[in-house]
A and B are shown apart, each in its own frame.
Chain A
Amino acid sequence: MSRKRQPHFAALFIAIAFSTGPVAADEVLEEIIVTADFRERRAAELSPSVKVLDDTAIEERAVQHFEELIASVPNLNWSGDGHRARYFQIRGVGELEQYEGAPNPSVGFLIDDIDFSGIGTIATLFDIEQIEVLRGPQGTRFGANALAGLIYVQSREPSAG
């Protein structure tokens, strides 16, 4: 019985191998464009380590605040004074709770290009399009205000109609 089945399995394997080849060549992969750097670039072209969370990731998790997404970002932690996350740490560098302020926060935090570094309590996620977390110093971009990294939040752009 086993000898009779051998040609049958071989034919099936060959058919699967040839049938999947042309389909894969026609697929267009969706690219991730990161805008937190000087230029909008593909995530694969960026030199720093980056994590991008889009609106799909936010909707899938049904979260309300950015602190609920932090578990999905490697090397990003948060701390807060009371209820919400207020301070962020990237790779272990950043302010902790009851921090009373300093001239240069370690982790930059921007919402629609508005600087909220060191006061991330307002990072609600409704109608947010994309969150980019850049790990590592972003000194050329934001000076000493992003020594450990940068969190860049963008809300949805207005559409034409």
Chain B
Amino acid sequence: MTNVPAASAYRPAATVARGCRFRARRAAAGEDLPRFRVVRTASRSGRFSRQRVSLTRTTPITRREETTLRGKTATGRPDQRTGTCVTLAGLYADIDDGYDAFAIDNSLTMRSDKPGRDAQESVGASLRADWHASERVDVRRPLRSAADSTIDFSFDADWGNDDFWAPFTYDFTTVSDRERRTASQELRLASGPAGRLFGDRADWLVGVYVQRLEDLVTTRNEGIYVDPGSGFNAVDRRPAGQRFRGAQHGGVRPARHRRRRRRTDYVRPARRAPGYRLHGFGRAGARARGIDAGRRTRVPARVRRRPVGLRRAVERLQSRRLQSRWCRKGAASSGRRPCGTWSSACARRGWTTRCC
């Protein structure tokens, strides 16, 4: 907020603040010395962090470090309409904030192994010079500014670690690196006190503004998601009967009866982590249908479609792991569980053909 004369005495073309934005009461009387102002501010926080696993406690996830350095120097006599007023401003800012304190199981214990950051480091400068060329024309704000910024943004997309997600494999991170550079040039010619138009009733201004902007964003979504844990076994029981009456008895009028019952047991791997619950996003895998049910139910006979492409490869991998699990369980029990196809994985584990 600037102190200026009362509204009745105010005239925009004659204010001392015009051009340099300097205040007359701040100018040194009779001297024209450069003025400087340098400011640095820093903020540190991060003592609060949730209990974490899979990371050392010396690196809080919510640590925030913010540093700002500003400098400005100015010369000229802003209280007079003579000479040139030059202002050079510089800025350096380093914002490095942690924020990714999200617990996947809605508890106070974080499972994230690659917590994200929200950071921006910028350096910029601007130069402006206001030149009162004459009583008719002011060269205002021949301004040049440039800035270079580096922005990092990342987060742990699975918000867990390997032990937490086992036996699933779910490790995903998103990292966005951004470089942004700007440079601008501006020139304005404005009317002075004697240069107003239409009988001293209107100011005029012409100018040009050019800006160059370079923005480069590199986003990496890296990770793997393997869901080995679903399948089902089905047993169909279809007792049927039919009573025939021959043609000699007046035509074919068969009476049939058929009863069908299908029992399906969905297989879901046991979680090693306690307190496990199925989460919604975990159903996005290729075997999501098996996970979704997880209980005895009736399903249509043709429940599976033949997978193709990448999905087929993934299901082959999952099927192999599933068979291995069955084999292990079958060997420990009485062998009543269905056995899968014998594979090289079974051989490496030393399991017998009786199981596999």
CB of A30 within 8 A of CB of B3, answer: yes
Given contacts A114-B124, A124-B66, A127-B41, contact A33 B91 (CB under 8 A): no
CB of A113 within 8 A of CB of B126, answer: yes
In angstroms, Cα B73 to Cα A46, docked, is 29
In angstroms, Cα B100 to Cα A118, docked, is 22
Please give the number of chain A residues whose Cβ is less than 8 angstroms from any Cβ of chain B in the complex. 56
In angstroms, Cα B14 to Cα A39, docked, is 12
Chain A contact residues: helix, strand, loop or mixed: loop
CB of A33 within 8 A of CB of B27, answer: no
Contacts of B100 in A (CB 8 A): 82
In angstroms, Cα B33 to Cα A28, docked, is 32
| Residue of B41, B117, B180 touching A126 (CB-CB under 8 A) | B41
Q: Which residue of B lies closest to A81 (CB)?
A: B153
Q: Which residue of A lies closest to B8 (CB)?
A: A28
- Interface check A51, CB cutoff 8 A: no
Contacts of A161 in B (CB 8 A): 28, 35
CB of A157 within 8 A of CB of B128, answer: no
Contacts of A45 in B (CB 8 A): 12
In angstroms, Cα B177 to Cα A81, docked, is 12
Report B170-191 residues with CB < 8 Å from chain A CB. 176, 178, 180, 182, 184, 188, 190
The smallest C-beta distance from A161 to any residue of chain B, in angstroms, reads 6
In angstroms, Cα B1 to Cα A32, docked, is 5
- Interface membership of chain B positions 196-217, coded 1 if the CB is closer than 8 angstroms to chain A and 0 otherwise: 0000000101010101010101
CB of A159 within 8 A of CB of B26, answer: yes
Question: Which range holds the interface residue count of chain B?
Answer: 35 or more
- Interface check B7, CB cutoff 8 A: yes
- Interface check B89, CB cutoff 8 A: yes
CB of B118 within 8 A of CB of A82, answer: yes
CB of B118 within 8 A of CB of A114, answer: no
CB of A155 within 8 A of CB of B72, answer: yes
Contacts of A54 in B (CB 8 A): 1
Given contacts A83-B118, A114-B89, contact A142 B209 (CB under 8 A): yes
Interface contact tally, CB-CB below 8 A = 186
Given contacts A82-B117, A114-B89, contact A158 B74 (CB under 8 A): yes
Contacts of A56 in B (CB 8 A): 1
| Residue of B10, B68, B74, B140 touching A157 (CB-CB under 8 A) | B74
In angstroms, Cα B31 to Cα A161, docked, is 11
In angstroms, Cα B98 to Cα A30, docked, is 42
Q: Which residue of B lies closest to A56 (CB)?
A: B1
CB of B12 within 8 A of CB of A39, answer: yes
- Interface check A91, CB cutoff 8 A: no
The smallest C-beta distance from B149 to any residue of chain A, in angstroms, reads 5
CB of A155 within 8 A of CB of B89, answer: yes
Of A14-22, A68-76, A97-105, the one touching chain B: A97-105
CB of B153 within 8 A of CB of A111, answer: no
Contacts of B26 in A (CB 8 A): 157, 159-160
Contacts of A55 in B (CB 8 A): 1
Closest 4 CB pairs of A and B: A82-B118, A122-B93, A158-B35, A158-B37
A-B contact pairs, 12 of them (CB 8 A): A33-B2, A38-B205, A39-B190, A40-B15, A55-B1, A115-B184, A119-B122, A119-B149, A124-B43, A127-B37, A156-B37, A161-B28
